[in-house]
Structure 1
Amino acid sequence: MGEDVRSRPVRADARQSIARILDAAQSVLTGDPSASMEQIAATAGVGRATVHRHFPSRQSLLDALVEDLNARYRSAFERARVMTGPPLVGLYRLTEMAFELKISHPFVIGLTPTAQSAGGPASDPEMQEGLERLFVRLHGAGEIDVDDPAWCRRLYVALLHEVHELPSGSPALAAATDTPADGVGARVELLVRTLLGALGGSRRRAP
């Protein structure tokens, strides 16, 4: 019992150090993708040895950044209540959070050539399954006609990437909403309108 009590502050300190290092890495590498581990350590306010203790290599740090982004996507999925609330509302909430993560984590999003598979719904099996369950719910609610959740998920992920890449002055964003076209809301509205239009649904057939 005594050993467990003594070990808890160490584990908490380690988690805090890892969180600081990951936040620093995201910030430093966004500005300079070739930045050294020493620069990351300085920004995190820890010693170089601390960084290397948690991340023995640069690749291990990059892998941890991707996993951290995946964890944030999974958290967003839960907070959006896509499995318990109205599915269309969940789609809007999840999409908003996904765009916010893309904006706040540009380095990790850009780690792979396609940028779509650097963490998140494109590469995480748990998120893939969750998205497909969401599209099953959307189909059951009559929001979409297409009864192929895997295809719906792939289309959604592709749209996330393409809409994220649109410049803020894009006519497509300006036409999507009355809100400022450079905000997240315009991107969410454009994606959801485009997605539902492509997948059909009884709501769009109603007079």
Structure 2
Amino acid sequence: MDTDAPTGARARTRRAILDAAVEVLAKNPAASLADIAAAAGVGRTTIHRYFPERSDLMTGISAYFLERIETATMRARLDEGTADAALERLCQEYFELGGVLTFAFENPQMQDWTDWETETESDKALERLIERGHAEGSIDASLPAGWVADVLWSLLYSAWQYSRLREQPKHTSLSLCLRTLRKTIGTE
């Protein structure tokens, strides 16, 4: 597998392959690399240059998910404003990752990837944010940080499903998610 950080055209091609792989594999987990190549608009040899084996592609997808989560976490500006407001911004950023994260949560091939269990910088940033909310009183201090994080992910998954399965507009699902989050973590 190509371990160098791709830049420019290589990065765009890699992203196109990964995005296409998620889209194609979400619909058909048994899809071939040729199917993914066609969806990405590249040749099969190009996919093999980036991901020589299917397992390399799955590892690449997992790493891509974690990169996307890290980018979304940075965009949420967790150090700005009150902790509850920052948590809402984070929820909005993570909501935009719905397609790729739903794929990760629902795809059996991703369940065995061990790096999902490793605590990331984004996980640590979320925990610090929740603890700041406890200290400032904007997040109910009786709710452990791990519980609040799990509730956040559960609400996001519910919002993605509500939008996808009930064919609701994304903005409706996100609004319901944020309202429920506010009511769940707020102080009484």
Which residue identity does 1:88 align to in structure 2?
D
Q: Assess, with a 3 A threshold, how the Cα gap between structure 1 residues 11 and 87 changes in structure 2: closer, same or farther.
A: closer
Among 137, 140, 148, which residue is 1:142 paired with? Answer: 137
For residues 97 and 52 of structure 1, the distance between their equivalents in structure 2, rounded to whole angstroms, comes to 32
Query: Match of 1:175?
Result: none
Residue 112 of structure 1 and its aligned partner are, at CA, apart by: 4.1
Residue 133, structure 1, aligned to residue 128, structure 2: yes
- How many residues end up aligned between the 2 structures? 181
Query: In structure 2, how many angstroms separate the alpha carbons of the residues matched to 1:12 and 1:200?
Result: 44
User: Structure 1, residues 105-157: CA drift from partner, whole Å, max 9, x if none?
Assistant: 54334224998x9998x865222111111111222231122253223222322
Is 1:184 aligned to residue 180 of structure 2? Answer: no
TM-score (norm 1): 0.70
Instruction: String of CA shifts for 1:18-77, please: whole Å, max 9, x gaps.
Output: 122112212222332221001212232322222112112112111211221221111111
Contact 2:162 2:168 in 1 (8 A): no
* Counterpart residue number, 1:68: 64
Give the Cα separation in 1 of the matches to 2:126 and 2:108: 22
Gaps of 5+ in 1: 1-9, 171-180
1:59 aligns with: 55
Structure 1, 158-167 or 64-73: larger mean CA deviation: 158-167
Note the C-alpha offset of 1:17: 2.3
Q: 1:24 to 1:197 in 2, by over 3 A?
A: closer
Q: Compute the displacement of 1:196 (Å).
A: 4.0
Aligned to 1:84: 80
Partner of 1:17: 13
- Contact (CA 8 Å) 2:102, 2:157: kept in 1 or not? no
Residues 62-94 of structure 1, C-alpha deviations (whole Å, 9 max, x = no match)? 121122122111111111111233322222221
List gaps (5 residues or longer) in structure 2.
1-5
* Contact 2:29-2:107 at 8 Å conserved across structures: no
